[in-house]
């Protein structure tokens, strides 16, 4: 049996991942703050599937509680799949956002997934197998449409995933970044945004089912609403072409200051 640890399992995308992974036969470790919801989900999954389900109540913005989740990732039975899903948005624009709330968001959307990936990876690398799913967002690639710190945290998830894939992919670890677009979950209401004002809302079951197709194909980056895989490949080729200039030791000619010839 494989074990999957899902953060933010109490609602939305994380709850659907938990249901799908239980149906695939994974034993589960469910992580979030809401005890009642996690216990209800655990009971539902135990009744529906022959799997064991642990519940780990943790506020991932709290260093001690985050460490308890890290400790579970480092202990037995080993966790084969980490789903770094817990996340939130932030009320207001960058200018108006409360700095304390901003710091908390950075802990949840950036700090926690980073430290949990670190905790999970040591054992995975030693075993030569394992997988990490990082939930980013399409706003990582379209910050103009969603200005503020949230998009930047999601860009971090994409970059972290790509860097990790390069580092630990050759050691047998699969890392997938999933970039959902607008998906019908509680995150909108929690962020003070009226869901009815957002066009093209994907249903959460459809989002997770598509993301798992990408997982089974071992895609590095899965963007469920994008119709053509070629669009992502062209984007990557453009990035590699740009990067080919990064090794130049001298500034490009277009940045050289023209000096007047000596008289």
Ligand X SMILES: NC(=O)c1ccc[n+]([C@@H]2O[C@H](COP(=O)([O-])OP(=O)(O)OC[C@H]3O[C@@H](n4cnc5c(N)ncnc54)[C@H](OP(=O)(O)O)[C@@H]3O)[C@@H](O)[C@H]2O)c1
Q: Using CB under 6 A, pick the residue from 61, 161, 176, 222 that binds ligand X.
A: 61
The answer to whether 161 contacts ligand X (rule: CB under 6 A) is no
d(CA 104, CA 101): 5
Q: Which stretch binds ligand X (CB under 6 A): 5-13, 22-30, 169-177, 225-233?
A: 5-13
Tally Cβ neighbours within 10 Å of residue 192: 10
Contact status: 165 vs ligand X (CB under 6 A): no
DSSP 169-212: GGGTEEEEEE---SBSSTHHHHTT--GGG-SSPBPHHHHHHHHH
Given the complex with ligand X, which of 4 and 13 has the nearer CB atom?
A: 13
Whole-number Å distance between alpha carbons of 148 and 140: 11
Interface residue with ligand X among 4, 5, 13, 168 (CB under 6 A) is 13
Tell whether residue 183 is a contact of ligand X (CB under 6 A).
yes
- Residue 176 within binding range of ligand X, rule CB under 6 A: no
Asked about 150 being catalytic, the answer comes back as yes
Extract the tokens encoding 32: 């979030």
Among the listed ranges 73-81, 180-188, 223-231, 232-240, the one in contact with ligand X (CB under 6 A) is: 180-188
11 is an interface residue for ligand X by CB under 6 A: yes
Q: Which of 226, 207, 2 is nearest to 85 (CA)?
A: 207
DSSP per position, 120-165 = HHHHHHHHT-EEEEEE--GGGT-GGGSTTHHHHHHHHHHHHHHHHH
Instruction: Give the nearer residue to ligand X in terms of CB position, either 85 or 222.
Output: 85
SS3 55: strand
Least distance in angstroms from the C-beta of 262 to ligand X: 59
Q: Which residues are catalytic?
A: 150
The contact set with ligand X (CB under 6 A) reads 8-14, 32-34, 37, 58-61, 85-88, 108, 135, 137, 180, 182-183, 185-187, 190
């Amino acid at each position: 049996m494989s074990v999957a640890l899902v953060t933010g399992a109490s609602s939305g995308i994380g709850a659907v991942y938990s249901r799908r992974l239980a149906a695939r036969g994974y034993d589960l470790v469910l992580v979030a703050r809401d005890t009642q919801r996690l216990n209800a989900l655990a009971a539902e999954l135990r009744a529906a599937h022959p799997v064991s389900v642990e519940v780990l109540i943790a506020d991932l913005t709290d260093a001690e509680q985050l460490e308890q989740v890290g400790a579970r990732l480092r202990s037995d039975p080993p966790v084969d799949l980490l789903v770094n899903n817990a996340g939130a948005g932030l009320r207001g624009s960058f200018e108006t956002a409360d700095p304390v709330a901003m710091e908390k968001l950075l802990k949840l959307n950036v700090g926690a997934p980073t430290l949990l990936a670190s905790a999970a990876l040591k054992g995975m690398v030693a075993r030569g197998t394992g997988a990490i799913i990082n939930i980013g967002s399409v706003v990582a690639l379209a910050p103009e449409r969603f200005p503020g710190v949230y998009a930047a945290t999601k860009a971090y998830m994409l970059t972290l995933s790509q860097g990790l894939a390069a580092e630990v992919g050759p050691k047998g670890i699969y890392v997938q970044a999933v970039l959902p677009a607008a998906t019908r979950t509680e995150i909108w209401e929690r962020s003070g945004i009226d869901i009815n004002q957002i066009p093209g809302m994907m249903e959460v079951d459809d989002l997770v089912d598509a993301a798992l197709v990408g997982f089974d194909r071992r895609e590095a980056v899965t963007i469920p609403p994008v119709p053509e895989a070629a669009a992502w490949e062209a984007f990557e080729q453009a990035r590699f072409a740009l990067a080919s200039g990064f090794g130049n030791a001298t500034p490009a000619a277009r940045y050289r200051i023209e000096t007047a010839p000596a008289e």
